[in-house]
Every structure is written in C-alpha cells, then in structure tokens.
Amino acid sequence: MTEHQDPDSLRQIRFNAFDMNCVGHQSPGLWRHPQDRSANYTDLNYWTHLAKTCERGLFDGIFLADVLGTYDVYGNSNDATLRQGTQVPVNDPLLLVSAMALVTEHLGFGVTAGTAYEHPYPFARRLSTLDHLTNGRVGWNVVTGYLPSAARNLGARDQLEHDERYNHADEYLEVIYKLLEGSWEDDAVVRDKERGIFTDPAKVHDINHEGKYFTVPGIHISEPSPQRTPVIYQAGASPRGIAFAAANAEAVFVGAPTKEKLKATVTRIRDAAEAAGRDRHSIRIYTLMTVITAATAEEAAAKHEEYRQYASHEGALALMSGWMGVDLSTYNLDEPLGNVKSNAIQSAAANFQNPRTTANRGPCATSPTPRASAASARAWSDPARKSRRR
C-alpha cells in the first residue's frame, strides 16, 4: 500500500453462505419449485455437497440459522407455519458441522445456538468438541431467542423480556468464557507415559461461578481446543443487542431494506464498539444479500420473477409475525403496523413501522457474471465502509 492509498480500497468483501437445517428458511413457498433441493435437508450428502461447493467457490464460511420453536404467533396457531413449511420441520444445525468439516479444509462454520434454553455447562463441551473436530473453524452465533413457543415448551409461561434476555446472555457468556478460557491452562495436558499422568491436576481449575441465573462451581470437562472460544457472531440490531455485540462479538450479521438503514445500523455498531473500548473496525459486519445469476442480466431477472411466482404470502406472514412478535393476521395487508412494542426481534418490527419501508430484509442482486455480482455486493458494502467516523 502506498502512503496515500485509501485503506478502504484494499479491504476485501467476505462471503458466508446462509442456510438453515430446514425446508423453508427465509423463502417461504420456494420449496415447491421443480429445481428446489431444500427438502433434502435430512440427507447428509446435501450438506457435504454444499460445503464442498462453497469451498470451491472461495466462500469464507457457511452461516447456519436456527430456531427452537414454531412460528405460531400468526393466527395464534401452528397451522400456517406447518402448511407452508416455514422453518418447520427444523433439525439441529450443530450436528452437521463435523461432516462438512471433514470434506473441506478452509471453510468456516457459524452455527446458531440460543442462550435461553440450554445450560452453559454442557453447551461449553459441545463448543469444544466442534472446535476440535473442525481444527478451529467453528463460530457461534449467539442468540437470545424470540419465539414464545420455545419458552412454553420448556416449562415457562413466556420468554423473558427482551432486554432481560440479553442480561441473561451476558451471564451465560461469562460462564462460557470461564469454562473455555480459564479452567484449563495451556500445558495442563501432559500425556506423560513414563509417569502415568495424562493431565496435571494442578493446572485445571474450578471456575467457582455463582450468579443470578447460573451456579457452576467445577471445571470444564474438555481439554483446550484450537481456538478455546469459537468466533462469536451476533445478529441483534436493537440498542441492547448492539451493546451485547460491542462487548462480545467478533462478527455481526445484519439485514437492512435500504442502504441508508444499513449505514445507520453499521454506524451504531461501530460507535458502540468504540464506546466499549474497542477499535471501531474490530467487528466484521456481514449484511444479507440474495444473489441470482444467469447467462445474461435479462435471464437473471426472469429467473427472479419465476421464483417470485412460488412465494407463499401465508408463509411470509407467519415468518414475519414470529420475527416481530405481532400477529399479522389481525392486519390488512396494506395497513401500517403502527407503534407496537415488540418482545421478539425489535429491529424487524422497527423496519415495518415506517409505511415507506419495503418488506425486504436485504437486497436481491440479479447478475449475469461473478464480476457483476461483486459490483452489487460492493455497492451495498459502501454504506458500511463509509460509516467510519471522520
């Protein structure tokens, strides 16, 4: 880099594939398309093929979403989500990772797992196991949950209030960090065959955690993995979610219907990181983008329009009702959402409270060539790049 070069000009755009261990993911109805293969999600070959394809295409990673509940907010029923395959049926994403790691060398894996309904003690072991099996290629997308159905099916009347879920997650990560980072010293495992000592007990320590939500007195039961703590992802854009990201996240996943909203979100994240004592560019930010390619721009646009013919309005309304925590069956399709208080994904509700905002969570690029796709990606990365404080 020359002395006068703009450092932004040398920054690379990174790509994660975005999928979920289910049929619908975020395109309700598209499972009906003759060429759709998402119904093969129960076949391990589907996932190993995806992993090999992404690595061949030089993707940085695969990001796997997840929920532990159903989208029953819409119409106060599971009927719509079951009928349309809206993220149900859905399987566990963590069990896919070791198989995909086996058939790749460089691909990373960001796996979603919630803090609300699994104790951190066994979950820390699962993180260590995956980090060992992937040789340090796993990341954890920390979510606090947003579906009331998950809470009810695990014995609670409802989920915690939005900001309290993040308070709970703060302590959850405190326990995880203590187990993964503080319990075993680097040289605790000695494997001394002559003395018959596998692990030096003096170098393994109780964490003695006692907090509001968790009491964990003992040691971590897995030896240190390549990363110890996996890469921490976060995907909340509410004020409390951004504060959580500023304290913990190495990468943040966002979605925005316009470049202006994207820029504002990125700026808030950068400012929060700086306020937390971090470099404002220490967090990598990924924005949602759907890319559709074909031989020509016209064919790509036609393919996009063909896909739209399979869209399920009912499935989309069920999905959005769950994201926003608002029963959209009680609204007319063109009726403004109004000023509602969401106990689900607050940023999703905020996007729809402006009647001029479209329903898109991110851009759709219809591009005939990889170069054109890259140009579209760069156009949407520019707002984030320009969010730096001058």
pLDDT in tens, 90-123: 999 999 999 999 999 999 999 999 999 899 999 9
Say if strands 189-192 and 138-143 run parallel, antiparallel, or are unpaired.
Answer: unpaired
Of the two residues 366 and 298, the one the predictor is more confident about is 298
- What are the domain boundaries of the chain? 7-385
Looking at residue 50, its pLDDT comes to 97
Provide the 10 A C-beta neighbour count for residue 9: 8
pLDDT at 56 over 60: yes
- Average pLDDT over every residue of 308-322: 92
**Residue 57: pLDDT band by 50, 70, 90 thresholds?**
very high
Q: How far apart are CA 20 and CA 66, in angstroms?
A: 6
Please indicate, yes or no, whether the overall pTM of this predicted structure exceeds 0.85. Answer: yes
**Residue 147: pLDDT band by 50, 70, 90 thresholds?**
confident
User: What's the chain's average pLDDT?
Assistant: 88
Q: How far apart are CA 382 and CA 60, in angstroms?
A: 20
Among candidate residues 184, 186, 40, the one with its CA nearest the CA of residue 125: 184
Q: How far apart are CA 204 and CA 182, in angstroms?
A: 9
Return the percentage of the chain with pLDDT > 90, whole number: 65
Looking at residue 324, its pLDDT comes to 83
Q: Which residue has the tokens 């400012």?
A: 271
pLDDT at 234 over 50: yes
Provide the 10 A C-beta neighbour count for residue 354: 12
Looking at residue 1, its pLDDT comes to 33
- Average pLDDT over every residue of 272-293: 93
Among candidate residues 72, 30, 22, 27, the one with its CA nearest the CA of residue 47: 22
- Average pLDDT over every residue of 4-23: 76
Of the two residues 348 and 288, the one the predictor is more confident about is 288
CA terminus-to-terminus distance, the chain: 21
**Residue 275: pLDDT band by 50, 70, 90 thresholds?**
very high
65, 347 contact by CB (below 8 A) = no
Looking at residue 175, its pLDDT comes to 98
Q: Does domain 7-385 have CATH number 2.30.140.10?
A: no
